[in-house]
Amino acid sequence: MQYGLIGEKLGHSFSADIHARLGDYDYRLVELSRDELGDFMTKKDFAAINVTIPYKQDVIPYLDELDSTAAEIGAVNTIVNRGGRLTGYNTDFYGMSELIKRENIAIEGKNVAILGTGGTSKTAAAVVRSLGAASIVKVSRTPKEGEIPYEELYARADSIGVIINTTPVGMYPRDGGIPIQVDKFKNLGGVIDAVYNPLSTNLVLAARERGIPARGGLYMLVAQAARAAELFFDDSGMMAKTEPIFRELEGKKLNIVLVGMPGSGKTTVGHRLAELTGRNVIDSDDEIVAATGMPIPEYFTKYGEGEFRNRESEVIEILAQKNGTVIATGGGAVLREQNVNALRRNGVVVFLDRSVENIVPTADRPLSRDREALQTRYRERYPIYCKAADIHLDANGSVDEVADRVIAALHAIK
């Protein structure tokens, strides 16, 4: 192997995608158990590598030299092999610093809480210290010397200006978690989450819901990779690629989630969007039928709406973990806030607002079989669709016209 990433579990990693955009070199993902790490490092059979969880500290004894930043932090995520001599660096420092600056989150003079105590936590502490934080507190569920428990963090909540999460809480595949209750912090000026999959964790979504600047770790991941590639090849031009690669990758990974009334065109528009963007398309109602083995009206009749909604939530939780997919949802998918949150973690929610006069009621839709039922559902759900939507679009017109509007709106928010 010439270049690559080592870690324990790499199925969720975006690193190969990023390095493929940085240059024309072979970059591989190598999963290693702890028993395999020592042999790998001793053989030195690589030109340069990145290191991720849980080996950012474990690799240090195998190195011949540490960059000053890596030595100060006590964690390494980049190793360069120069004639058999291994030098360790911490490009996460650059990545997190650039992410904070990009989001215009003020650190100077602020009290910063860092959730977690691993290698990324050490990096975060070094970064905010360099940016002039007034104080830094590390938070752990099992606090040791110098750390505090979450109960004490809540007691200090009014004094905390910035929160940085470096724990895996909320990370794929267990992306339904959230490490703290954001509403406890009345003076919060910014939230950074090192997790990049999903694109927006529940922590990031909760902060944005309250108008707090917040961002997940994808930009940090791209920036640190660009800095690592600079070290790989001694090429200072790599870091200028950060912003365009971030935008391209985020756009590729983002799901387009279509919500709206039954009959508003979600499925047909979804298929057209898939053709135009090169994405796969999935209809949540089709997935429910596949999971239950019966048509939705039959399932409704046999088990009731409550049980149907439970099944719907199970399906949406699975679909929401996908990347780069068009997801056409059922008309009532937005009725549960948990569904909307799940869909937002990796997606942008688009409300296809088609006038009720242009929607045809059909017998295969249990709650909108006739014109009266359809109008009732429209009145009930309209404000819910509006609240759920990141993009609210007029869906009157042809399939091509509506699909073009969606794409134009997506370009506008980038």
Q: Which of 9, 43, 56, 414 is catalytic?
A: 56
Give backbone dihedrals phi and psi of 279, rounded to 5 degrees, phi first. Answer: -95, 165
Cα–Cα distances (Å) from 119 to 90, 167, 247, 262, 389, in that order, read 10, 10, 27, 48, 37
3-state class of 293 per DSSP? Answer: coil
Residue with the two structure tokens 């690559």:
4
Residue with the two structure tokens 């910014």:
190
Catalytic residue check, 56: yes
Contact 153, 111 (CB under 8 A): no
**Which of 77, 388, 132 is CA-nearest to residue 257?**
388
Angle at the Cα of 330 from the Cα atoms of 328 and 332, rounded to 5 degrees: 140
Cα–Cα distances (Å) from 39 to 61, 148, 149, 218, in that order, read 13, 37, 37, 31
**Which of 278, 282, 302 is CA-nearest to residue 292?**
302
Cβ neighbors of 400 (< 8 A, separation 6 or more) are: 272
Q: Which residues carry out catalysis?
A: 56
